[in-house]
Chains A and B, each alone.
Chain A
Amino acid sequence: MAQIFSTRADARLRLVLIVGAALILLIGAAAFAYVRSGNAWAIGRPAEQPVPFSHAVHAGGLGLDCRFCHAGVERTAEAGMPSAETCLGCHERVWNVTAQFAPLRAAIAQGTAVEWSSVSRLPDHARFDHAAHTQAGVGCETCHGKVEEMPRTVKAESLSMSFCLDCHRDPLANQQPAGAVFARDAPPAAELQAMRPHGLQAQRYEHYGIEVSPLTRCSTCHQ
């Protein structure tokens, strides 16, 4: 009766096992690297927009203030998008390229909304309040990056939970002085403003000997 296993069967088995284990590790490592990479969080990927809008031209070149278009950023949870009227207010006079502004004109004619595509969307169970953050001295750039240099708007940070927590654990590192929240290229703040007296930061407490900041409690951001 012939040998069922050749003399090299053992070596082959070992090879297969080693290669298999290595593959599994590699796949795991690749997956881990991927979910932590900017690609998985869509960093740097532009979204299809109804009108080819360039922040580099408007905010960078012309120097428009963020609040000119995102008017609610200091008052409401959502920063707000400019109305079609706001866009056409200038573009009736300058750079009046009819074809590009068709969606805006249609919106005004029909009274419907212009649907821009969000690039910095948080998941459903997380709540973000623009007003609370700008009032607390968090600058736009902290989360949105150098928007004024973007010809097509892209996501600059992962906006993952760990990104949020990095700041919530040490908020002072990212706070700007009152006047610099909307400034471009604000120099690293030399004098940091004290936390507002009613802010959550004022309510640090201790439980089982651990100091806890309400800023890192689940219910502060999640709903």
Chain B
Amino acid sequence: MSARLPPRHGPDPAPEPPQPAALRIGLHNPAERRDALKLMGASLALAALAGCDDPDEFGHPLHAPARASDAEASAADYATVLELDGLSRGVIVRTRNGHPIKVEGNPQHPASLGATDIFAEAAVLSLHDPNRSRRIRRDGRPVPAAMLDEALAMTRAELQARGGRGLRILTGPVSSPTLARMLGAVLAAFPEARWHQHDPLADDAALEGALRAFGKPVVLVPDLGLARTVLCLGADPLGHMPGHLRHARDWAAARAGGRAPRLIAAEAAPSLTGARADRRIPLGPAEAESFARAVATMLGVEGLAAGGSHPAAADVAASLREAGTEGLVMAGTGQDAATHALAHAINARLGSMARRLLPHPLARPEPMGASLAALAAEMAAGEVTHLLILGANPAYDAPAALGFGAALRRVPFSLHLGYRQDETARLCPWHVPLPHPLESWGDSRAFDGTPAIRQPATALPSEARGEVEVLSALLGRPVAAREAVEETWRVEWGEDDFSERWPAALEAGVAGEAPDALDLPLSAGWDRPTAPLQGGLAAIFSPDPGVRGGAEAHEAWLQEMPRPLTKIVWGNAALMAPATAAGLGLSSGDEVELSLGGRSILAPVWPMPGHAPGCVTLPLGGGRRAGGPVGEGRGFDAYALRPADGTWVAQGLSLRATGRKLEVVTTDSHHRLDPGDAIRTVAPGGSLPQPERDASLYRDWPYPGHAWGMAIDIDACIGCNACALACQAENNVPVVGPLAVSQGREMHWLRVDRYHHGPEDNPEASFQPVPCMHCEQAPCEPVCPVNATLHDHEGLNVMVYPRCIGTRTCSNNCPYKVRRFNWSDHRRFLDTPARNPDVSLRPRGVMEKCTYCIHRITTARSTASTEGRALRDGEVETACQRACPTRAITFGDLNDPESAISRARRDGRHYAMLGHLGTRPRTTYLARIATDAEDAP
């Protein structure tokens, strides 16, 4: 089944999310017009009332904890981990009144180093999702928990009699030592049972490539801080690859330290790595292996079974040869096993020191596509009598060609453990709510194998059960998740060390070291060339940068966050090279019918500058059919076309224009500035002319105390959106939905602008985060008729919400277009325990914008004042700065000449956006450094 976007001029103009409750009145029907007049009258009366303070402030609850120790716990920070594709990154969860309100990175965790990504930031939203599953259900109806226990006990008795024959357990990718131990115990108790894993985003070819090259399931972990030349064959270390936060940090630190690695990206669809690469080679899937072979041949790799050719190969090979042991080749998702093996062979030939081969962090690495296909075949054959699906959603994200849903109906007893009542839950007789990762105990491993304990930051809903709890109930020895995790680590560390190491592991958020790197020789016969792809267009499946494989599709923050390169929100589109689209006579938004392997879907076309010709990228994760109103029906479901073995590339896609248009909502044209004014570029080692301070007709403001300023290094920015989402989470910024976004009414206080430079077939991209500039001579201030936006004693441009009458003149006068207007009242959607209580909610009809996290400044000032000292440099960290994986954002006091921000302002690359306007912005930029493909102007 495929889902499609509604036509642009259809009866229902656009799919609407649960928020905001936009008042939609049709004015064509006279009866409705009368209603509209009534509503107008009522809203006038309400507006008058709204001018008064809310009466409910009196008697507002004051929480007093039960125990004195709870007082600290209710406003504490917890170090824990969140998983992405089964691999963890460390986070610190800030709680208030016992509710998590913000996720920040854990500086001590190797996969975070203090930074977060958009998915970690959105965990707070999913935790408080009203559409999450809360009840144990049998055939869709809530049942008491005792019934589940009874059913599990009966299942156990039945299975024990036949050694577990017919029992299958399906999980997502498992890196948790405790879950692996429990699964081992179940498999030992029921010898005929089988455990399968499913991850739609797993890179099976990488595993197969490692097996071919070394005979062992190892992972390649790059060190971008050490590398001098890096060739990424479809690999996206700055975006999608496990450990991306770490790699981005290493890359940025090396660049800042003058050891910038030369990044060469050979890829089909532009990725974040490709956007920031020093050289990008658009390379369709048909050419990828040939290119890798040509490079390998030129570098003298031994044991090659075939050669290849590509015009760019000689130059790339020379660059790698020159880098020697500091050269590195990485293959990513979308490449076949032969290319992965070639990458390993080239690294071995170079003797690359910039990569480590580590034992696979997953408990049982296996090709997940094959694992799921084997399970589906057994289910279809009627061999499976009992199926436990733990935290996976194969009814949606398995390839449709596998027929998993139909096979699932043949299983007499199936139990789905999941966070939502998703597509799989609908097909299983039993559904058990899975706790959110922020609610439950567990453990996990990072991309490099570093273990960590996951501890809850809030209370567990009464009926939710973790994987461990369900499995232990099946064994007849129910244990709580915490006991199971403690048991694992008690055995691992020994009884004596446990009492010391356990609290230390919880405190630090890291439970041990990464395993040692392996030194493996290349296996003989590693090279097994793949038959060249032929016929038609190639379909490339890819994780959507916003909703990944679709599991995150229910996060409104993620749906509305513009995808870094396309700026598409609330959906997806079939991406192809502008030349390919033009050749087919298609332009953006044209609906096409995509057919592959006998199935077809409808999708809008999106010409993507820099995309390789002859192939179409189909982002996964759209077209959800169940699980809540936010995710359902957003975009098309590319799983419908994916081949049964779950590969990332399929040849033979055919494409037919239907002649209709589909609306793709994008913010690409919103708040557009002239690129020449916004982005400056310098040659490596160069600097910009620093202008004299412009004279002003207005008198200068004195700043006797602090003078806050921000500098954003656009050379370090990788466009990952972490800052924008951190800002949204921190400042209670509402989600407005696709209709409002299409009208230019998105509310993000911090947007990340993307600019393309150069030719359309292979442009360079640069990113520029744009918060409020906090101008010293702010154009917004003098035009406000009610003095609702004004300048404060520390140089902040502040908004007085209760004064604002919504003329929007300030926004009109803002040259940077950073002000956002509340067209609707979003407060009832925002006033949940997830909101940050330090930031007030804005009513309808007022303007809002970045405050430089003024509440963080005030809190730091109060703390310093209470302790009787001055504020220290770096004590105030804005939410965006804290989230940034490359530390592109610096914030601090300009009055202190030794502060980090003052040093950044003295950098030769420093410039002010639209500085010639004389606005004297406090937010300034450090220019981007030209790549070797271009000359600085």
Contact = CB atoms under 8 A, between A and B. Distances in A.
B859 interface: yes
A119 B62 CA distance: 9
Q: Which bucket holds chain A's interface residue count?
A: 35 or more
Contact of B792 (A132, A206, A219): A219
Given A48-B59, A218-B800, A85 B66 contact: yes
A56 B855 CA distance: 36
A219 B854 contact: yes
A47 B59 contact: yes
Contacts of A86: 68
A147 B97 CA distance: 26
A84 B64 contact: yes
A105 B679 CA distance: 63
A223 B64 contact: no
Interface stretch (B574-582, B655-663, B834-842): B834-842
Interface in A135-185: 135-136
Contact of A115 (B61, B67, B702, B704): B61
Given A77-B859, A117-B62, A196-B868, A85 B838 contact: no
Contacts of B54: 123
Contacts, number: 148
Contacts of A8: none
Contact of A199 (B798, B854, B858, B865): B865
Contact of A81 (B64, B851, B868): B64
B458 to A, nearest CB: 12
Contacts of A67: none
Interface in B33-70: 53-54, 57-68, 70
A79 B704 CA distance: 31
Contacts of A118: 58-62
A113 B699 CA distance: 53
A92 interface: no
B701 interface: yes
Contact of B62 (A42, A75, A115): A115
A125 B58 contact: no
Nearest to A136: B865
Contacts of B705: 200, 202-203, 214
A18 B58 CA distance: 39
A204 B66 contact: no
Contacts of A121: 57-60
B867 to A, nearest CB: 9
Nearest to A41: B58
B869 interface: yes
A61 to B, nearest CB: 22
Given A111-B66, A113-B66, A223 B61 contact: no
Contacts of A85: 66-68
A223 B838 contact: yes
Interface string B586-619: 0000000000000000000000000000000000
A223 B840 contact: yes
Contact of B855 (A74, A83, A223): A223
Interface residues of B, number: 51
B696 interface: no
B866 A207 contact: no
A114 B64 contact: yes
A136 B868 CA distance: 10
Interface in B338-369: none
B305 interface: no
A203 B704 contact: yes
Given A125-B801, A200-B705, A42 B58 contact: yes
Contact of B71 (A80, A116, A117, A196): A80
A198 B868 contact: yes
B702 A47 contact: no
A86 B64 CA distance: 10
A204 B705 CA distance: 9
Contact of A207 (B57, B61, B699): B699
Interface in A29-86: 42, 45, 47-48, 71-72, 74-75, 77, 80-86
24 contacts: A72-B71, A77-B859, A77-B862, A81-B63, A81-B65, A83-B67, A84-B64, A107-B66, A112-B66, A113-B97, A114-B63, A118-B62, A123-B53, A123-B54, A124-B840, A129-B858, A132-B862, A208-B699, A217-B793, A219-B794, A222-B798, A222-B800, A223-B839, A223-B840
Interface of B: 53-54, 57-68, 70-71, 74, 97-98, 699, 701-705, 790, 792-794, 796, 798, 800-802, 838-841, 851, 854-855, 858-859, 861-862, 864-866, 868-870
Given A127-B838, A217-B792, A219-B854, 18 more contacts: A47-B58, A74-B866, A81-B63, A84-B67, A113-B65, A113-B97, A116-B61, A116-B64, A118-B61, A122-B57, A124-B841, A127-B855, A205-B704, A205-B793, A214-B705, A214-B793, A223-B854, A223-B855
